[in-house]
């Protein structure tokens, strides 16, 4: 690999998807870099040596002296920035950055930046699809799908729609998005943030750095940033909207998505179900409007969009009971949103049987008690921290299952015709499964086997 003469030496920490995308990007640019991983033997080490011959690779415990050799550290999201060796390098003047900053320095096209505790993937996919359906050459990626720097390998596109996690945002210095939003904030990843919601909140709000248009959720005060003069602020919410804002209005007894007083689309025409998905549709409209996606095209996309797999996905109906797969509900806020959203679709007297549990990540499960008190028929518990959920949800006595097949069978036996069985675990999946997709697939298979 031939290098451009420069005093810039980047040190890439983390050799997963993001780190390798950084290395490929810098190699294409002819920039000097070193590869570092905290694991002794990263799973793709042979690939790295063959793809980047002659590049230094260091594995194992981070060495502050090595990191201080760099002019800039490019930190992968999976590595916490408070590691002592990283902090020593920062104190010595080494810049801390990540792939998102490299991407933003490279592109001139508008960027839609989306974060939040829940619904990031749904809204990112939906806004991206709105743009594609309108004939706009659009890159969709970030925390969802393609790493951002890999999207540049084929040249710049007209628009980028990015899902950004709090971990990615920790190293963002100047995002400069054309439109940026924090969809919602609820406790998540508190094991990473020293059990501090303010630290998590601060990481999320880095999405607004340099934004031209800020989109806030009127139903969640924690999504509203302090913004400087000249930044345009718009909003979405499930209430009646002010002029030019997005919300809901009633017309002739039917509920409509609306902009100001103008009805846009009947809620009944949406394929995605639940109040949380109505909020997702409104957020997508607000973001799309901020980057001039034609309104009529966005509404047509909303009519066609069926939602994402493992995100409140309708699976089947058995003996009058509907089964929903929300395996992506890996935190309490997501599960509360799923319960409340689906409860609004139930007929009088029908309830939800919730399957929950897994690795709790230090979460407080008490927020599940009120929605289950209002809408819960039964609680089926799985995984490592199922007992913590049982303790927190005092309104129902938890029923324990040893496998997903057992959980689905038990939930079906507890449900009544017209009820919903909802897998929304409020936990990570790694105690029982390789990830939330495998957990969701196991649920679907168990439902199909009933």
Predicted confidence at residue 194, as pLDDT, reads 57
The pLDDT of 236-261, averaged and rounded, is: 96
Q: Are 33 and 10 in contact (CB under 8 A)?
A: yes
Count of CB atoms within 10 A of residue 59's CB?
15
Helix (H, G, I), strand (E, B) or coil at 78: coil
Residue 195's pLDDT band (cuts 50, 70, 90): low
Which residue would you say has higher pLDDT here, 185 or 88? 88
* Per-residue pLDDT tens over the stretch 1-13: 434 334 689 999 9
Sign of the Cα torsion 111, 117, 119, 125 reads positive
Among 17, 79, 90, 10, smallest CA distance to 48 is for 17
Q: Which residues are known catalytic residues?
A: 120, 143, 189
* Torsion sign, CA atoms 270, 276, 278, 280: negative
Instruction: Give the C-alpha distances (Å, rounded to integers) separating 11 from 39, 118, 422.
Output: 16, 32, 45
Count the Cβ atoms, other than its own, within 10 Å of residue 186.
20
Question: pLDDT tens digits, residue range 318-356?
Answer: 999 999 999 999 999 889 989 998 898 888 899 999 999
Q: What percent of the chain has pLDDT over 70?
A: 96
Give the distance between the most distant pair of CA atoms in the chain: 72
For residues 136-151, average pLDDT: 92
Predicted confidence at residue 258, as pLDDT, reads: 98
Q: In terms of residues, how long is the chain?
A: 450
* Number of separate helices (H) and strands (E) present in the chain: 15, 20
Q: Are strands 420-423 and 321-325 parallel, antiparallel or unpaired?
A: parallel
Q: Are 62 and 86 within 8 A, CB to CB?
A: yes
DSSP letter (8 states) at residue 171 = T
Residue 439: per-residue pLDDT: 97
Written as six digits, the tokens of 147 are 């790493």
- The 8-class DSSP code of residue 253 comes to T
Q: Please, which residues bridge with residue 248 across strands?
A: 257
Residue 109 in contact with residue 160, Cβ under 8 Å? yes
pLDDT tens digits, residue range 390-434? Answer: 999 999 999 999 999 999 999 999 999 999 999 999 999 999 999
Structural domains in the chain, sorted by start: 9-97 (3.40.50.720), 102-304 (3.40.1190.10), 313-448 (3.90.190.20)
- Residue 1 confidence (pLDDT): 41
Angle of helix 295-304 relative to helix 120-133, nearest 10 degrees? 120
């Amino acid at each position: 690999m031939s290098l451009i003469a420069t005093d810039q030496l980047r040190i890439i920490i983390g050799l997963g998807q993001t780190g390798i995308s950084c290395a490929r990007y810098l190699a294409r640019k002819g920039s000097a870099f070193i590869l570092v991983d905290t694991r002794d033997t990263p799973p793709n080490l042979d690939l790295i040596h063959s793809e980047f011959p002659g590049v230094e690779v260091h594995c194992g415990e981070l060495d502050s002296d090595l990191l201080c050799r760099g002019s800039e550290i490019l930190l992968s999201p999976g590595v916490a920035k408070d590691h002592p060796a990283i902090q020593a390098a920062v104190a010595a003047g080494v810049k801390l950055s990540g792939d998102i900053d490299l991407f933003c320095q490279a592109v001139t096209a508008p960027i839609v930046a989306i974060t939040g505790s829940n619904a990031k993937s749904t809204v990112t996919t939906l806004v991206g699809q709105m743009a594609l359906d309108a004939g706009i050459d659009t890159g969709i990626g970030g925390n969802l799908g393609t790493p951002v720097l890999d999207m540049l390998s084929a040249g710049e596109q007209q628009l980028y729609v990015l899902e950004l996690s709090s971990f990615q945002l920790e190293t963002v210095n100047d995002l400069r998005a054309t439109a940026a939003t924090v969809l919602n904030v609820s406790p998540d990843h508190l094991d990473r943030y020293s059990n501090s919601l303010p630290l998590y909140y601060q990481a999320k709000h880095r999405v607004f750095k340099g934004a031209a248009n800020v989109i806030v959720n009127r139903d969640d005060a924690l999504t509203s940033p302090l913004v400087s003069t000249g930044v345009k602020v718009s909003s979405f919410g499930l209430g009646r909207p002010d002029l030019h804002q997005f919300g809901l209005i009633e017309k002739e007894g039917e509920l409509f998505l609306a902009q100001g007083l103008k009805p846009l689309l009947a809620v009944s025409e949406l394929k995605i179900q639940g109040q949380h998905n109505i909020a997702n549709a409104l957020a997508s409209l607000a973001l799309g409007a901020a980057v001039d996606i034609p309104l009529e095209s966005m509404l047509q996309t909303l009519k066609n969009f069926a939602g994402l797999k493992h995100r409140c996905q309708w699976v089947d109906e058995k003996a009058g009971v509907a089964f929903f797969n929300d395996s992506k509900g890996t935190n309490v806020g997501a599960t509360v949103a799923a319960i409340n959203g689906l409860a609004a679709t139930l007929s009088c007297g029908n309830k939800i049987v919730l399957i929950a549990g897994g690795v709790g990540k230090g979460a407080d499960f008490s927020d599940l008690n009120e929605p289950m008190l209002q809408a819960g028929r039964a609680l089926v518990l799985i995984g490592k921290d199922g007992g913590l959920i049982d303790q927190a949800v005092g309104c129902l006595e938890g029923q324990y299952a040893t496998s997903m097949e057992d959980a689905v069978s038990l939930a079906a036996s507890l449900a009544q015709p017209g009820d919903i069985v909802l897998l929304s675990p409020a936990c990570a999946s790694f105690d029982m499964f390789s990830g939330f997709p495998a957990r969701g697939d196991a649920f679907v298979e168990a439902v199909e086997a009933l």
